[in-house]
Amino acid sequence: MRKKKDTHSFDFRPLGLAIREAREKAGFSRNDLGDKVFYGERHIADIENIGKHPSFHLFHDLVTMFNIS
């Protein structure tokens, strides 16, 4: 089986860190945030910790919710 080539060249880790800091400041656990945006806790952790690229819809929800610019 061929390994899927990573087509993302944008390093999302700094934004993932900003999302984590905003989530913690708001007093949400990853589970709380996942419930609000209808994604699992593990998916939120991957965005925050390893810079996993979220869907545009999820990205919009997160930056809007926490007023990240």
**What residues does each domain of the chain span?**
13-65
* Residue written as token pair 């589970």: 31
d(C-alpha 7, C-alpha 35), whole Å: 29
Q: How far apart are the first and last CA of the chain?
A: 40
Residue-wise pLDDT for 22-52, tens only, equals 999 999 999 999 999 999 999 999 999 999 9
Task: Quote the Cα angle for 60-66-67, to 5°.
Answer: 80
Domain 13-65 classification at class level: mainly alpha
Which of 63, 67, 66, 64 lies closest to 24 in space, CA to CA?
66
This prediction has a pTM of 0.83
